[in-house]
Amino acid sequence: MTGYVRPRDLDEALATRAAHADWMVLSGGTDLMVNANHKPIPTGILDLWRLGELCFVKVEPASIAIGAGTTWTEVQGHPVIADRLSPLALAAREIGALQIQARGTLGGNVGNSSPVGDSLPALLALGAELELASVRGRRRIPYSDFCTGYRKTALAADELIVAAHIPVPAAGTKLAWRKVGTRRAQSISKVMGAAVITLDGDRVVSARIGLGAVADRPIRAAAVEAAVAGQKLSEAGDAARAAMRSSIKPIDDIRSTATYRREVAENLVARFFAV
Ligand SMILES: Cc1cc2nc3c(=O)[nH]c(=O)nc-3n(C[C@H](O)[C@H](O)[C@H](O)COP(=O)(O)OP(=O)(O)OC[C@H]3O[C@@H](n4cnc5c(N)ncnc54)[C@H](O)[C@@H]3O)c2cc1C
């Protein structure tokens, strides 16, 4: 390794990123260090850990911005996130265990873009936008357009993730999060998902459902969303289960079988509509 930069500000980080697109971008390191012994030594490291301009939570009336460097401990401990964006706060509580949550960041989970990244279905369901920056300027992209394939993203070689901007759901919106893993803690998801359900009395107006570990990337459950729109809440669970059955192609891997994942996914979406 020939280079190491721990930037003082975002401008220095972006200039370093532009000059050294081949360097490793390091935040908490909880994903990167797991594989460090199996990968070639990087030519350099751009160390973003605790960079001030990436570590913030900004609450505005209609949206909440969370800096990419914000740790999962900070996300779950923030009272407004816990109250208004509960799927993300609950996902944060189930990422690894306390040590991982103290070090792992939102930007790292998004940047790693694993199909089992726990925050990703929550970001999808909550309708998050990502703010990306490079020396060329800043842009925003819906999270739904960011993940383009198995661990592939729309991040350009000279860009960094700056923040997630998440619209605050209207009061009365039903929010849900559920992770199914082997254990309660320190467990990689077999299936997980989040739901944001808009209700008019006991009727579902619309729903956004994000799921993880059932495809090569986190997905919106479009068939379920269509099936529950206009249904009574008490009947939406069955409609969701039936639509789920015919609409996913889960993966077989060392953590679980496709058959098990399909059944769990059906139960999981049905429970989002539990009265
Ligand atoms: C024991 C253990 C248990 C775990 N359990 C879970 C779990 O239950 N659920 C789960 O989802 N994850 C889990 N993880 C994975 C990991 O902790 C999370 O994905 C975490 O959010 C990664 O954040 P980080 O800051 O450590 O990322 P890093 O390892 O620093 O980086 C990860 C990737 O993101 C990129 N990146 C980071 N920040 C930026 C940025 N600002 N701009 C552009 N690219 C960036 C890096 O270049 C790298 O490619 C676990 C890891 C371990 C070691």
Which residue CA neighbors atom 22 of ligand 1 most closely?
108
Domain boundaries, the chain: 3-167, 174-272
- Report which protein residue has its CA nearest ligand 1's atom 31: 108
Give me the architecture of the 3-167 domain, per CATH. 2-Layer Sandwich (3.30)
Atom of ligand 1 nearest to the CA of 106: 21
Residue 186 has pLDDT above 80, yes or no: no
170 confidence band (pLDDT: 50, 70, 90): very high
Q: How many angstroms separate the CA atoms of 126 and 64, rounded?
A: 11
161 vs 257, residue with greater confidence: 161
Distance in Å, CA 28 to ligand 1 centroid? 7
Task: Tell me if domain 3-167 and domain 174-272 are identical in fold.
Answer: no
pTM of the model: 0.96
Q: Whose CA is nearest to atom 9 of ligand 1?
A: 95
Residue with CA closest to ligand 1 atom 44: 111
Ligand 1 pocket (Cβ < 6 Å) reads 25-32, 34, 48, 54, 68, 95-96, 100, 103-105, 107-109, 111-112, 117-118, 160-161, 186, 188
pLDDT given for residue 272 in this prediction: 97
pLDDT in tens, 18-46: 999 999 999 999 999 998 889 999 999 99
Per DSSP, 149 falls in state E
The whole-number pLDDT of residue 123 equals 98
Is the confidence at residue 97, as pLDDT, over 80? yes
Tokens standing for residue 271: 């429970």
Please write down the long-range contacts of 89-98, taking CB distance under 8 Å and 24 or more positions apart: 90/122, 90/177, 91/118, 91/119, 91/121, 91/122, 91/177, 91/179, 91/192, 91/194, 92/118, 92/119, 94/118, 94/179, 94/181, 94/185, 94/187, 95/119, 96/30, 96/185, 96/186, 97/185, 97/186, 98/73
Q: How remote is the CA of residue 48 from the centroid of ligand 1, in Å?
A: 13
Mean pLDDT for the stretch of residues 182-210: 90
User: Per residue in 155-165, pLDDT tens?
Assistant: 999 999 999 99
**Residue 258's pLDDT is what?**
86
- The alpha carbon dihedral of 14, 150, 93, 99 has a sign of negative
Instruction: Report, as an integer, the average pLDDT of 230-251.
Output: 91
Q: Is the confidence at residue 246, as pLDDT, over 90?
A: no
Mutate to test the pocket of ligand 1, among 10, 12, 24, 31 (most ligand atoms within 8 A of CB): 31
Nearest to 176 by CA among 274, 71, 255: 274
pLDDT at 185 over 80: no
Q: How many angstroms separate the alpha carbon of residue 14 from the centre of ligand 1? A: 20
The alpha carbons of the chain give a radius of gyration, in whole angstroms, of: 19
Residue closest by Cα to atom 39 of ligand 1? 107
Q: What is the mean pLDDT of the chain?
A: 95
Q: For residue 161, give the ligand 1 atom closest to its CA.
A: 42
pLDDT of residue 181: 81
Atom in ligand 1 nearest the alpha carbon of residue 112: 33
- What atom of ligand 1 comes closest to residue 110's alpha carbon? 34
Sheet of 219-220, strand order: 174-180, 191-200, 203-212, 219-220
Lowest mean pLDDT among 39-43, 113-117, 189-193, 254-258: 254-258
Q: What is the pLDDT of residue 257?
A: 86
Closest residue CA from atom 46 of ligand 1:
25
- Residue 78 alpha carbon to ligand 1 centre in Å: 20
Per-residue model confidence (pLDDT) at position 214: 86
Could you report the per-residue pLDDT of 103-159, keeping only the tens digit for each?
Answer: 999 999 999 999 999 999 999 999 999 999 999 999 999 999 999 999 999 999 999
* Homologous superfamily of domain range 174-272: CO dehydrogenase flavoprotein, C-terminal domain (3.30.390.50)
Question: Predicted confidence band at 250 (pLDDT cuts at 50, 70, 90)?
Answer: confident
